[in-house]
Structure 1
Amino acid sequence: MNQFALWCEGRGLSFLPASPDTVVLYVDEEAGRLRPSTLKRRLCGISRIHRLLRHEDPTRDDDVYLAMRRAQRKKPERPRQALGVKTDLLDTLIAACTDDLIGLRDEALLRVGFDTLCRRSELVRLRADDLTTNVRGNFSILVRRAKNDQTGQGRTAPLSTKTSECLRRWLKQTGIERGPLFRPVYDDRVLQRYLDPVVVSRVLKKLARRSAAAEDARTGVSGHSLRVGAAQQLTINGNGILQIMRAGGWRSVAVVARYVENVDLDLWT
């Protein structure tokens, strides 16, 4: 909204409330400089401020919609996808974990993130008291809230045998029974608080630099890599779209299709 206000002031136009014609002019002019995703984010800010102040929302006008369509045609873009951590890269990263408490925490974090397909914000909010033992003797865990589950209905994610064994070692060494499952470790002490979501990215990048992973893996991993890679691995393993949607908590087939579009499948063998 601040960027829009500065743009309007430079042209002697009213920005609050703004007219649809002003917003159309803004989109058409900035489309040559900004990506469509940036423009969309700007419009969200303009819309939100107008609605909070009980003004009519100028971004809902049909002319603004058509201006955004023009901007998207001018600069077509595909969403950039994080490098997927599939099982082979996951094993490489786990092999780079140290033998101390931080290394055990990092291994458990990677294994649980891969098995649950959690976003990094969901992964760091997991709780030890939400672990249950399933009929196979392995852990399952409740993912309480997700980006597309704001009401907190949650979903239950099963964990593999290796992940359950690793998690049991982490819980035994730390004495964690309730509260945050993954916690900061300083001087071999476990703090009584949740990890920051950015730690997931830092752990992946740290292990990638330390490991024998290829250069693209060392530079391409991010906090979203576990979710992307797990979806791709499920596709490689022959799971159907509904199984993958259930595993990752997706509600849209189109979104899952984007996650797995880079999977190298030989369809003609």
Structure 2
Amino acid sequence: MNWRHHFDRLEGAYASSTIKSYIRDFEAFAGWCRRKRLRALPASAQTVARFIDAQSQELKISSIKRKMCAIRKVHRLAGFNDIDEHETIALALRRAKRARPGRPRQALGVTFERRNALMGKCSDDLVGLRDKVMVAVGFDTLCRRAELVGLRVEDFQMSDAGTLTVLVRRAKNDQDGLGRIAHLSAETTRLVQHWLEMTGLERGPLLRPIYKGKIGARYLHPAAVGRVLKRLSSMAYDPEIAKKVSGHSLRVGSAQTLAKRGVGLLAIMSVGGWRSSNTVARYVENVEVNPWQ
């Protein structure tokens, strides 16, 4: 069964990471079908329901829904009817949701205080300066990790206020690629300027790998953000706290800091480029704010 060629039609319309995710998830479904001697394409509603029931023993509902997106996409590309319309599948999804109740696990937010602690643990060499810029820019811009490592030197501009702005070119909820403008603080502006002076960078990636004291030419992998934050957190705090930190922690912590400072939900959404208030509300719900102070 050759289903992979269907994804050729998605080239240019979807990010390569999205296409790879579709392929990976449908491979999991197709492999399960082979082991059960069931047809994967087109799959019957009963087959998909059995797959959901099996996956619900191990995976969260969010992961199952992601796999369902891949199954749905392949069927549509192959010209088959939308399998989501079957009540059998809808009931299986409801069973999966009830079988593993609970809220999504949220990364520990790197709030302003934690940001300062992490930056204080950065070394005095070129790697430490890069890591300090990563933390400061990530916190100010509320960038996702892929957006953060994707920032380019030529996208930074000096504003009338004397601080830098940066064009965050494309986000996962910005399919048209219009981007958004993020503002840096005076402190972060000085850090970025110092980094550019030290490295001589004029174009290309702002954040780069460094080998034996020499800066590379390519972009950092998004996973590098999480590794840097975990490493700095393990030095600033105990290992248990470091385990809760991820590449998303700067975005979460900055939103929490803004909420604690009294910034409204709509303003936080605008700064971080969110389309839905639900995610932001979940980030800031645990912020301790005393309305009587």
**TM-score (normalised: structure 1):** 0.92
Question: How many angstroms does 1:237 deviate by?
Answer: 0.5
Segments of 4+ moved more than 4 angstroms = 9-12
1:199 aligned partner: 224
1:82-140 Cα distance to aligned partner (Å, 9 max, x none): 00000111111001011111111110110000000000000000011011111210101
Aligned residues: CA RMSD: 1.8
- Single out whichever of 222-231 and 43-52 deviates more from structure 2: 43-52
User: What does residue 174 of structure 1 align with?
Assistant: 199
Aligned to 1:116: 141
Q: 1:5 aligns with which of 16, 30, 42?
A: 30
User: Cα gap change, 1:75/1:159 in structure 2, threshold over 3 Å: closer, same or farther?
Assistant: same
Give the Cα separation in 1 of the matches to 2:191 and 2:269: 26
Q: Which structure 1 residue ranges, 5 or more long, are not aligned?
A: none
CA–CA distance in structure 2, aligned partners of residues 158 and 209 of structure 1: 29
The reply on whether 1:217 has 2:264 as its aligned counterpart is: no
1:49 corresponds, among 51, 54, 74, to 74
CA–CA separation in structure 2 for the residues paired with 1:183 and 1:103: 12
Are 1:81 and 2:80 counterparts? no
Matches for 1:1-269 after TM superposition, within 5 Å: 1-211=26-236, 213-269=237-293
* 2-structure distance, mates of 1:251, 1:199: 26
* Alpha-carbon distance in 2 for matches of 1:162, 1:63: 56
Offset, 1:66:
2.9
C-alpha separation in 2, matches of 1:29 and 1:258: 29
Residues matched between the structures, number? 268
Task: Please tell me whether the aligned partners of residues 23 and 59 of structure 1 are also in contact (alpha carbons under 8 angstroms).
Answer: no
Aligned partner letter, 2:271: A
Distance of 2:35 and 2:150 partners within structure 1:
44
Q: Which amino acid is the alignment partner of residue 181 of structure 1?
A: L
| Alpha-carbon distance in structure 2 between the residues aligned to 1:198 and 1:105 | 15
Residue 169 of structure 1: how far off its partner (Å):
0.4
Deviation per CA, 1:166-204: give whole Å up to 9, x if none. 111000000111111111111221111111111111111
Query: What whole-Å deviation, never above 9, does each CA across 1:195-239 have from its counterpart, x for those lacking one?
Result: 11111111111111222x244432221100000000000000010
List gaps (5 residues or longer) in structure 2: 1-25
Query: In structure 2, do the counterparts of structure 1 residues 177 and 12 end up closer, same or farther at CA, with 3 Å as the change threshold?
Result: closer
Equivalent position amino acid for 1:171 in 2 = L
Distance 1:9 1:129 in 2: 50
Distance in 2 between residues matched to 1:117 and 1:97, nearest whole Å:
20
TM-score by length of 2: 0.85
Task: Name the amino acid aligned to 2:140.
Answer: D
Q: What is the deviation of 1:80?
A: 0.7
Corresponding residue SS for 1:156: strand
Aligned mates of 1:86, 1:190 — CA distance in 2:
29
Change (3 A) 1:125 1:265: same
Match for residue 13 of structure 2?
none
Deviates more, 1:154-163 or 1:42-51: 42-51
